Structure 1
Amino acid sequence: MAGRGAARIDGLALAFLLSLGTVVSNSFARFAYALVLPAMRDDLGWNWSQAGALNTANALGYLGGAVLARALVDRIGNRALFIVGMPVTAVSLLATGFVADLFWLSVLRVLAGVSGAMIFVCGGALSGNVFPDDPRRATLAITVFFGGSGIGLVLCGVGIPLLLGWGGDTAWPQAWIAMGLASLAMTAAAVAAAARIAEPAALGAARAPDRAERVAGADARPGLAWRLTEFVPSLIAYACFGLGYIGYMTFVIAWMREQGASTGDVIVVWSLLGLATLVAPWLWKRPFADWRGGPVIALVMTVLAAGAGLPLLNASLPAMLASAALFGAGMFSTPAAISTLIRKELPKPAWGQAMAVFTIVFAAGQIVGPTFTGWLADLQGSLRPGLALSALVLLAGAAVALGQKTAASEARGP
């Protein structure tokens, strides 16, 4: 009994250290831009479209990284791609603090997106194999991996506003340099954890076992252990997630600043957002373990939509805190719900490929969000229309997710 308890603690520690990859790839390389954006926009003289375009560049890189991961994961493996992605992302963040030209900033954002996608896709597959023989603990490890980046959100939420409040708008390069240095330290820990986790599938596995054939059907593509058409509702929902959440995460701090929020307000709201992502794995533990198919995805995205919509109704500090709590509870839990769906419905040889395909769809939606929201803001003179659209898209994705069926329900028949 004691041995099993120690193994559980050791496994959760591995999942936590692995989750430092999401701190680097998500909290630092993607979401921290929302905190730095107002200072960069004022110091560099950007309009809203240019400000949004920098996150679109990151999303384009993310799409490229997901495509690359899908192409390479069967030959190279999840672990190797994760280990390569970590230092590349860290160096990209560090270098961002040494350039001011929009073109070169965009190049670095693209690079961070490419390597960040490898971390996210392959880390998600690895986290599902922390407890290879215990489905319930495997689900917990997945949620810990995706929720752990809340640590990075809290660090950014406290550190960046204080730094910019002390140094002014021109201090934004120091924010990127600090994140780059922290990422290098986290790289060492996350890579060490990844090296201890077994590859979810033998490299070059070309044929799925009987369970996959039952899921995929006789017309599945050769060498692919699953059929995309069986997952259309969840794929559409994930595209809506990518399109909807990124508008909020890019511009919510700028929205708060426009409404007169203080540095203290920004710190409290962003920190609560991060803390909510840390609590989320335990909040969703039972639904993720017991539910199957689309309902859990739909529930998580509904909570996310509620968090995205609240600031438009009321921008007071209590409303923004409620928004942050709801959004944080759903943000990383949506990818965790998708990863859990993949783990329950597909065999291990398909996990890396499936995560890559879902990430490609998600990244395609994520590309459109920032630039379109910024374009609407320039057109309408306000961030409100784009933020409202983000909430509606998330709600639509929740509705579509309800149509996702499972292998178990298909086996029962109508």
Structure 2
Amino acid sequence: MTTTTAEPTIARQALVALALASGSVVALGFTRFAYALLLPPMHEVLDWTYAQAGGMNTANALGYIIGAATAALLARKAGGRQVFLWSLAVSALALLATAATTNFASLLALRFVGGLATAVTFVVGSVLASHIVTGATQRRSALMVAVYMAGVGIGVVISGLVVPISLTSGASGWRLGWLLMGAISLVALVPAWLGARSVTPSSGAHSVVLASHQLRRLAPTFVWYLLYGAGYVSYMTFVIALLKSEGLGGSAIALYFVVLGLASVVATLAVWGHLAGRLRAGQAPALVAVLVFLGVLPLLLLPTGIPAAMVSAVVFGASFMAGPTAATVIARRMLPHGSWTAGIALLTVAFSVGQAIGPLVSGLLSDSAGGITNGLWLSAALLILAAVAALFQRDHHAS
């Protein structure tokens, strides 16, 4: 009798997590990663330097830092469900508005607002996903978090299909790309609302800051996440520009992006959802950083072409979203229930600081004599440092 009732429960929990994943589709799949597809035409049509292009992602990351830092307070004041949905709506509007201007300052402001809103969406959505199975085992909780994170890969796949089509419309194609993603984001509000209303609100007091001993116990993970954020996002920001500069056409680049997204979805669900809950201490984040590093190498060591791009897409795609999965699982494991939102938010702040610094420095290096390859070598170095930092993390009992 127990067996027959367990499976529908797990299936229902997975459906709730998948509905919540509408938030991660928009927050990272569209707002952050689709920029890599739109960067080359915007760089060309708007006559940007690579430093300016990287600055756009830095503005987005700065907004992300503020959004992550305030997410716990907003959720406590207004309620997690409401904050999740309102921030998702703002994200959708920011995507739509990006299509309406060519002014550099205005685009910087919109990237900032989009970063702020999507950080709140992503953090609060991660917490809601963690609460789906509050009373269950760590492994099942990790699986539900992975389902939520799989939305990022879904967003990458969707943008990989939609954006290249929009770019065939000519010089204004980048506008159409943002417009279509904004429209899809508005539609995503429906499943997001259904998912949020299905999560049972948690009881008890919730802190918006961590105690000093909680900060100390998570210190290696904070360092890992900062370095990881800088390393992986430098690759994601400029990889499409690199492929285009090496002569790959629009169809090959679209294929690369779709393969990357599919690899992310499959690996997040089939591998990381189970593995992240089993590995102890800093093993999962260290493994993630090493695998993402290996995903960068094909474009640095092999002749740039479709084979190298596909290998990189599969390896990088299969591992990059395991970082947020591992961070969320660690926060849930090592912090008491009432500190989950604050812990995930502060870890996301560290992640965002890395994402703010990485693209700007990588862009400056890409403007130098060595070109975009210099920026990708920086990405590889940061990922190795992240793996080393993660190994210093030790397990602790939640308190």
TM-score (norm 1): 0.91
> Do the aligned partners of 1:62 and 1:110 also contact (CA within 8 Å) in 2?
yes
Cα distance in structure 1, aligned partners of 2:170 and 2:241: 15
Per-residue deviation, 1:159: 1.8
**Which of 113, 120, 129 in structure 2 is aligned with 1:127?**
129
2:284 paired with 1:296:
yes
Cα distance in structure 2, aligned partners of 1:70 and 1:3: 34
Structure 1, unaligned runs of 5 or more: 209-215
RMSD: 1.9
Cα distance in structure 1, aligned partners of 2:95 and 2:359: 19
Per-residue deviation, 1:75: 3.1
> Do the aligned partners of 1:78 and 1:352 also contact (CA within 8 Å) in 2?
no
Cα distance in structure 2, aligned partners of 1:286 and 1:24: 24
Per-residue deviation, 1:345: 1.4
Cα distance in structure 2, aligned partners of 1:338 and 1:84: 24
**Which of 180, 184, 198 in structure 2 is aligned with 1:182?**
184
> Do the aligned partners of 1:73 and 1:353 also contact (CA within 8 Å) in 2?
no
Per-residue deviation, 1:381: 5.1
Q: Write the deviation string for residues 104-127 of structure 1: whole angstroms up to 9, x where unpaired.
A: 111111111111001111111111
Which residue matches 2:94? 92
2:274 paired with 1:286:
yes
Cα distance in structure 1, aligned partners of 2:153 and 2:273: 17
Q: Which amino acid is the alignment partner of residue 305 of structure 2?
A: S
TM-score (norm 2): 0.95
> Do the aligned partners of 1:70 and 1:357 also contact (CA within 8 Å) in 2?
no
Which residue matches 1:163? 166
Per-residue deviation, 1:245: 0.9
Which residue matches 2:314? 325
Cα distance in structure 2, aligned partners of 1:151 and 1:277: 8
Q: Percent identity?
A: 34
Cα distance in structure 2, aligned partners of 1:285 and 1:188: 25
Structure 2 counterparts to residues 14-413 of structure 1, below 5 A: 14-135=16-137, 136-164=139-167, 166-202=168-204, 204-205=205-206, 220-221=211-212, 227-281=214-268, 282-314=270-302, 315-380=304-369, 382-407=371-396
Q: Write the deviation string for residues 267-305 of structure 1: whole angstroms up to 9, x where unpaired.
A: 111101100111122112332122221011100111011
Range with greater deviation from structure 2 (312-321 or 19-28): 312-321
Cα distance in structure 1, aligned partners of 2:256 and 2:208: 48
Structure 2, unaligned runs of 5 or more: none
Cα distance in structure 2, aligned partners of 1:42 and 1:172: 11
Q: Write the deviation string for residues 73-122 of structure 1: whole angstroms up to 9, x where unpaired.
A: 33333323212211000011011111110111111111111110011111
Cα distance in structure 1, aligned partners of 2:208 and 2:364: 46
Q: Write the deviation string for residues 22-49 of structure 1: whole angstroms up to 9, x where unpaired.
A: 1101111111011011101111111111
Per-residue deviation, 1:20: 1.1
> Do the aligned partners of 1:200 and 1:351 also contact (CA within 8 Å) in 2?
no
Q: Write the deviation string for residues 182-219 of structure 1: whole angstroms up to 9, x where unpaired.
A: 000001211221121123453x43599xxxxxxx9xxx
Cα distance in structure 2, aligned partners of 1:289 and 1:356: 20
